[in-house]
Structure 1
Amino acid sequence: MDFRTEVRAWLDSHLAETPTPDPRAWERELGQAGWIGIGWPEDGGGAGYGNRPAPLTHQVIWAEEYARSTAPPRMGHIGENLLAPTLIAYGTEEQKRRHLPPIARGETLWCQGYSEPGAGSDLAGIRTTATPDGTGGYTVTGQKIWTSLARDADWCFVLARTEPGSTRHHGLSFLLVEMDQPGRIDVRPIRQMTGTSEFNEVFFDGARAAEVVGGEGNGWAVAMGLLALERGVSTLAQQIGFAQELDEVIAAARASGAAEDPVVRARLVRQWAELVTMRRHALRTLGTPGDPGAPSVAKLLWGGWHQRLGELAVEVRGEAGAVGPQPWSATTPYELTTAQHLFLFTRADTIYGGSDEIQRNIIAERVLGLPREPR
């Protein structure tokens, strides 16, 4: 049995038993079967912590088949694909032994404490502070925002300022904070214009951080190393989802007659061609690690593409694209259609994860060697 067939067979059989599994229990099931941590490198400290170190081709196949299945969205993505490789690269042996096995078993969930109200794309402007608490740890005070999975996470990795008076990327440290600290950590969901709350605000009021990764004051280097990992194999799985959304838009265009319009048809063809280009770019850059501009190029490609798809999703439906499911009344909550949700949510695609402006600056300064933008 080849690997793709093995993956499909496992997903089909386990999802047939429980078509809509509890997401947290599902993470443990994935861990027990050895599907978490297959991308952790054997020679980077991952040996013995992950379940089945696999070649890059197998990692891509697993990500793609998972995206094609009816499995629930992964709750362990941040721990498995962001925190774990960062610990393998920058963490101590003790930190690896403590945190990697529970991630691989699907037992602990992580969230990311980077962005703040005044420091989103400009991450170096963070103001959250951490001061030594006299026991080898730190006391963290400040606010993070747009924190996915914060309500469910057991731990949060937090970028905080540990050197008083420091500015920009100096004096930052990468801290590990346990989330179960009543009275010291407050998580508040952010209601978006879609009506849903995928993101949260997190307030730290004297929360304790017992560990620092990469050494005090080296947080910027660790944080940048993590961000370089954020757009790896997972982007290929993301593109499977994009292809499914594009198919739905094309089907809607045919059903409404909008596909007969040559302008609309040309836009649909362009969306398809750009998606093929994105996949080839992702595959090429996976084979050439270390390209400083690759993550930024990838973000620019998919952010604008997905936003334009959201616009098309509503436009091809004509007037019907502007109204919700029928019947509805003043006593029935208004629910968005899938197309409307896609349109509204994708307005943020060119902002979160590093705005388009920031990505262009990275390419200009770090790849092309152009002068820094005046501040």
Structure 2
Amino acid sequence: MRNLVFLGIISLLIGYIYFFEEKKTIEEYKNRAQAEKLLDIKNAGQILYLKGENFSLAKEGEEFLVEGKFRVSNKALDRFFKELMNLKVQRVLKEDELSSTTLKHILPENNSFIEVGFEKSKVRLKIGKKLNFAQTFYLIVENLATQSTKYVVAKYHNTYTGSAQDKEQHRSDMSYNQVLKLFNLESNFFKELIPLYNLKLEKKLVIKSYRNKAYEIDTELKETLPKAPEGVEYIDARFTEYIAGLTQLKALAVFMNEAKKSTLRERLGELIVGEKSYQFYKYFGNKIGYFILNGKYIYQVEPKVFRFVFRPQQFFWKKSLHLAGSEFEIKDHQDRTLLKSKLGDKNIWANLLVREAYQVKENYKKAFTPEYKILNEKQTFLVRNTESGLEVLDLDKDLIFHYLEKIK
């Protein structure tokens, strides 16, 4: 991540301490000026790390890593700081308010904190106890470089979801619990879980899997190679959906590929984009599932991710019959009329004619012994049941459309 972006986010983190709720009196604006003296980081230098009780982000070169090795998710950071910016300071406690008795009511029972390390300074924010009769709570601001501490009363905005007439609204602990949750986030929250994060769109994608024959996608022409049979159209929207979806896939977890000899076994497939290869495996160590190898990272994904990436080639084809009109007639093999109907009627034939087939293939003028015939204006379709389902032959295009169900 670029340092300037991170600096901007941290500036918001420090800046929220200065933001009082909207008030208009002169005295309250004086309090605002005093609050701005809480921290002085103008000469603190670049940020080196950000950490909490359960997470740690540190700078490595020009980017920040989680736990010193995992990529940081920009979206997770944005969400984290967006939530943090809901904190608003109501007032700063004065010295004469900080007796030993008062501190007992302020100091937290847990160790929830956020710490930011700069080249020349360190700042720590700690969540204190909640006030009994309000949604507000204590916030402790520590400058570890100067050994100075400030105690403030703060509130977390826009979190209460109860009724406006609720008499207990003012003392709800919902806001406080949400702040505690924010300060106790774990490392996994910040990890980049986009397995194809470095994917750069190329003209050609190659898709190989153990389930289906390998094929290519031309992302510009929106065609497959091998090409669809003559008479079968492509569905442009599915190319668009697939290409966009590759960059939005999300993993369940991410691991380092640290073993000298890879512990990944049984390759299930490979996605090749330009010179970049993304390999999918069934086993990682003693784990079983779906795992993507991307450089030094191994991503565990759900089965639906694997199914999405390795769509069969015909997913991009329009595998439905092209009917000339809405009325049709069904005849048996002896040419007797069984049904006259139209599209939209409630019967198995009308439903079949508007549905997408499971698969389409060329017939190559081979013999086809039908059980039924479908007549649609000047078109004729031959129909037969097979062990694997129903086959419909388009005589004009010499294409067989395969459906998984049968007609008895």
Scaled by the length of structure 2, the TM-score of the pair is 0.28
Higher-Rg structure is: 2
Structure with the larger RCO, 1 or 2 (CA within 8 Å, 6+ apart): 1
Scaled by the length of structure 1, the TM-score of the pair is 0.30
